[in-house]
Amino acid sequence: MTEAHKLFTWQRKAKLGYEVSSKGDSRFSAFNALMPDGRSIECHYQCDVKGHQPGGTDWVLGKGKPPLNPSTDLWKEYLTLWRQWANNNLPLMRELYYHARDRDSVLTDCFATTEVNQARALATVLNELVVKGP
């Protein structure tokens, strides 16, 4: 990361941040971000990563519950989902870069209750893309 590039960060709420939940730019909500199989990141996370309904769509089964396999690294798996989504949606990531840059380079998720959230994941992916370059 060069000095010319400011690192993107995340917060639950920020006066100037760019909201990436369904209350803000819902295109970046885990409920609306679709994976190649047509299921949302939320479905993949709650059903597959946490193991509550592998291959399923009833994400509510895992919401607020720990993974069935306690050794699952939830952050690593969640970030992997967002990396895959970002690689399949580079034009949207480019747009997010400019929106976030104009909002003090802070992404927000007002619904975040843990470190495993879309604002943190998207800020991480943006930082990786900046380092990687075109």
3-state secondary structure of 106: strand
Nearest-angstrom CA–CA distance, 87 and 7: 19
How many Å from the N-terminal Cα to the C-terminal Cα in the chain?
Answer: 14
Measured in whole angstroms, the distance separating CA 117 from the mean position of its chain's CA atoms is 6
Phi-psi region of 9 (alpha: psi -120 to 50; beta: other; left: phi over 0): beta
Tens digit of each residue's pLDDT (9 = 90 or more) over 105-132: 999 999 999 999 999 999 999 999 987 7
Q: Using 50, 70 and 90 to split pLDDT, how confident is the model at 5?
A: low
Angle at alpha carbon of residue 116, lines to 87 and 84, rounded to 5°: 15
Domain ranges of the chain: 9-132
Region 3-13: mean pLDDT is 77
Mean of the pLDDT values across residues 4-25?
Answer: 86
* Confidence (pTM): 0.91
Strands 106-108 and 9-11: parallel
pLDDT score at 27:
96
As a whole number of angstroms, the distance between CA 125 and CA 84 comes to 10
